Amino acid sequence: MKTLLCCAVAASFATAVSAVPEPPPSPIAAIETAIESGLRATGARGLAVAVIEPGRPAFIRTYGERNASGAKLEPDTIMYGASLTKTVFAYLVAQLAGEKKLDLDQPLASLLPQPLPDYGNLAAYGNWGDLRGDERWRRITPRMALTHATGFANFAFVEPDGKLRIHFEPGSRYAYSGEGIILLQFALERGLGLDVGAELQRRVFDRFGMRDTSLVWRAAFARNLADGWTADGKPAPHDERSRVRAAGSMDTTIVDMARFATALVNGEGLGKAAHDELLRPALAVTTRSQFPTLQPEAPPEERIPGLAAGLGVVAFTGPQGPGFFKGGHNDSTGNMLVCLRTQRRCVVILSNDVRAERAFAGIVQAALGDTGMPWHWEYGRQHGQP
């Protein structure tokens, strides 16, 4: 039987050899093609990409420039982490919860020595005095802060009068809020006596070998620093953030974020229960898009099935099973982390040019295949995402 099969294959090969199709491109070639075409299409000046495959860094490359002088963007170039800071902070909180040093469902009020509004206006955090007269602050928990369910606007400064307020019953729905993350940071520092910057350094950055990552500016960063470009192509200087802000003060590199993404998908430094708590869908997302943050909830038939907040990430369900993601953005920065949980595969993208965000979907597709990532919810359909 084997002889007959071999003969048949040999005969057919002789006549069909000229029709053999070209081999498919390697995954690395497909990723690089997506990156290069994305940069051309968007005009973005700088981009760094890491692929975790599976559970280990398999691809780390940088493209373009780190500043307007044309200096090359390198794997160890310091880039702004933006709201990826929130996911790193959530990892710390999950560690504390796993060690029974923090109860995710215990009101933050029980941690504080005095009522929150009595702290008044603190430059490092905000004006907690604005909450006087609204006792709903007493019900806010660490889980609500990390699932963006505090009821706060993203930041108080976007309110018409600049005052912090609660817009809905805490825990009842999702609405992205940096203020909620800052409240949790405040409770850990004032209530538990922790130095969040030092704890992150010890428990996360040092543990995972993230040598060039910090929540406060280091003078050494200036040697190899990425400035940015705005949506209209104008250069923007890198901010030197001197205060720990768990909502978004992290500077990092693509190498360090590849190390963090590896730890995240593998659950390093966490027990299984704490790792599950971090990534499981905990609160359904009921809005049509991520922003504006306090938009009305969509009718049930218009919501994205399976889209839900985890702790510092957003969970989704796609054709390859459960996944999660977190973006980071300001006027000159576009970052994205997308992971497939079961496969322990991730893509990390850092860009010092906000225009690059339009290329993210194609890059992730090239690296991971069809994930089901809800790009239109994260960026809006008008952003050009599928």
Domain regions of the chain by residue span: 27-87+209-383, 103-191
- Res 26: pLDDT: 61
pLDDT for the residue numbered 8: 36
DSSP character at residue 124: T
Q: How far is CA 264 from CA 87, 92, 338, 339, in A?
A: 9, 11, 11, 9
Mean pLDDT of successive 10-residue stretches along the chain, which has 386 residues: 35 38 69 97 98 95 98 98 98 98 98 98 96 98 98 97 98 98 98 98 98 98 98 97 97 98 98 97 98 96 97 98 98 98 98 98 97 96 51
**What pLDDT is stored for residue 7 in this prediction?**
37
Q: How many CB atoms lie within 10 A of CB 117?
A: 16
Taking a C-beta distance cutoff of 8 angstroms, is the pair 238, 67 a contact? no
Q: Are strands 333-340 and 228-229 parallel, antiparallel or unpaired?
A: unpaired
Alpha-carbon gap, residue 254 to 62, rounded angstroms: 8
Q: What is the pLDDT of residue 288?
A: 97
- CA-nearest of 105, 94, 141 to 279 is 94
- CA–CA gap between residue 287 and residue 27 (Å, rounded): 35
The length of the chain in residues reads 386
pTM of this structure: 0.92
Give the domain 27-87+209-383 fold. Answer: Beta-lactamase (3.40.710)
Question: Is the previous residue joined to 292 through a cis bond, with omega within 30 degrees of 0?
Answer: yes
Report pLDDT for 1.
36
